[in-house]
Structure 1
Amino acid sequence: MSSRTDHASRSQLTFRQKVSRFDYTYSPYFYIAPFFILFALLGVFPIVYTMNVSLYDWHLLKGQGDFVGMQNYISVLNDPFFWNAFWNTISIFLLSAIPQLIVATLIAALLDQAIRGATFWRMSILLPYIVAPVAVTVIFLQIFNQYHGPVAGLLDLFGLDPIRWSFDVFPSHVAIASMVNWRWTGYNALLLLAAMQAVPRDVYESATLDGAGKLRRFWSITIPMIRPTLIFVVITATIGGLQIFTEPKLFDGRTNGGSDRQFQTIVLYLYELAFPRRDFGRASATAWILFVIIMGVGLLSFMVTRAVRTADVKTVRVGALSARAKRGES
Structure 2
Amino acid sequence: MTVQLDPHPPVAPAPRTGRRPPGMRFSRLDTKYSPYLFIAPFFVLFGVFGAYPLIYTFWVSLHDWDLLGSSHPFVGLENYSRLLADADFWHAVVNTLGIFVISTVPQLLAALWLANLLNRQLRARTTFRMAVLIPNITSTAAVAIVFGVLFGREFGMVNWLLDLVGIDAIEWKSNRFASWVAISAMVDWRWTGYNALIFLAAMQAIPRDLYEAAAIDGANRVRQFWSITVPLLKPTIIFTVIISTIGGLQLFTEPRLFHSGTNPIRGGPLRESQTVTMYMFENAFAPHYNFGYGSAVAWLLFALIAVVAAVNVLLLRRLGDAKPPRKDAKSKEDAKSKGWAR
TM-score norm. by structure 2 comes to 0.87
Shift of 1:281: 1.0
The reply on whether 1:296 has 2:307 as its aligned counterpart is: yes
Against the structure 1 CA distance between its residues 116 and 282, is the aligned structure 2 distance closer, same or farther, given a 3 Å change threshold?
Answer: same
Greater helix fraction, Structure 1 or Structure 2:
1
Shift of 1:19: 5.2
Shift of 1:33: 1.4
Give the counterpart of 1:114 among 114, 121, 124: 121
Give the counterpart of 1:320 among 326, 329, 335: 326
Give secondary structure in 2 for the equivalent of 1:244: coil
Shift of 1:288: 0.8
Greater CA radius of gyration, 1 or 2? Answer: 2
Against the structure 1 CA distance between its residues 78 and 205, is the aligned structure 2 distance closer, same or farther, given a 3 Å change threshold?
Answer: same
- The corresponding residue for 1:13 is 22
Shift of 1:62: 1.7
Give secondary structure in 2 for the equivalent of 1:59: coil
Shift of 1:158: 2.8
The reply on whether 1:73 has 2:83 as its aligned counterpart is: no
Question: In the TM superposition, what are the counterparts of 1:254-273 in structure 2 within 5 Å?
Answer: 254-256=263-265, 257-273=267-283
Shift of 1:239: 1.1
* Paired letter, 2:326: A
Shift of 1:131: 0.7
- The corresponding residue for 2:43 is 36
Shift of 1:23: 4.2
Question: In the TM superposition, what are the counterparts of 1:167-316 in structure 2 within 5 Å?
Answer: 167-253=174-260, 254-256=263-265, 257-276=267-286, 277-309=288-320, 312-313=321-322, 315-316=323-324
Against the structure 1 CA distance between its residues 78 and 26, is the aligned structure 2 distance closer, same or farther, given a 3 Å change threshold?
Answer: same
Distance of 1:32 and 1:177 partners within structure 2 = 38
Give secondary structure in 2 for the equivalent of 1:320: coil
Against the structure 1 CA distance between its residues 22 and 77, is the aligned structure 2 distance closer, same or farther, given a 3 Å change threshold?
Answer: same
Against the structure 1 CA distance between its residues 85 and 21, is the aligned structure 2 distance closer, same or farther, given a 3 Å change threshold?
Answer: same
Aligned residues between the structures = 313
Shift of 1:321: 5.2
Distance of 2:147 and 2:328 partners within structure 1 = 53
Shift of 1:28: 2.9
Give secondary structure in 1 for the equivalent of 2:76: coil
- Answer yes or no: is the 8 Å Cα contact 1:54–1:72 preserved in 2: yes
* Paired letter, 1:268: M
Distance of 1:308 and 1:143 partners within structure 2 = 38
- The corresponding residue for 1:88 is 95
Against the structure 1 CA distance between its residues 162 and 28, is the aligned structure 2 distance closer, same or farther, given a 3 Å change threshold?
Answer: same
Against the structure 1 CA distance between its residues 322 and 69, is the aligned structure 2 distance closer, same or farther, given a 3 Å change threshold?
Answer: farther
Shift of 1:64: 5.0
Shift of 1:153: 1.7
Against the structure 1 CA distance between its residues 147 and 19, is the aligned structure 2 distance closer, same or farther, given a 3 Å change threshold?
Answer: same
Over residues 248-298 of structure 1, what are the superposed CA-to-partner deviations in whole Å (9 max), with x where a residue is unaligned?
A: 111123431111101000110000000121111111111111111111100
* Paired letter, 1:72: N
Shift of 1:20: 5.2
- Answer yes or no: is the 8 Å Cα contact 2:62–2:76 preserved in 1: yes
Moved more, 293-302 or 22-31: 22-31
Shift of 1:18: 5.6
Distance of 2:119 and 2:269 partners within structure 1 = 45
Shift of 1:141: 0.9
Distance of 1:218 and 1:6 partners within structure 2 = 67
Give secondary structure in 1 for the equivalent of 2:22: coil
Over residues 278-321 of structure 1, what are the superposed CA-to-partner deviations in whole Å (9 max), with x where a residue is unaligned?
A: 11111111111111111110000001111132xx32x32xx335
Distance of 1:131 and 1:63 partners within structure 2 = 42
- Answer yes or no: is the 8 Å Cα contact 1:56–1:64 preserved in 2: no
- Answer yes or no: is the 8 Å Cα contact 2:99–2:183 preserved in 1: yes
Against the structure 1 CA distance between its residues 6 and 263, is the aligned structure 2 distance closer, same or farther, given a 3 Å change threshold?
Answer: farther
* Paired letter, 1:214: R
Alignment gaps of 5+ in structure 2? 1-14, 332-342
- The corresponding residue for 2:146 is 139
Over residues 134-170 of structure 1, what are the superposed CA-to-partner deviations in whole Å (9 max), with x where a residue is unaligned?
A: 1110111111111112112212323432211111101
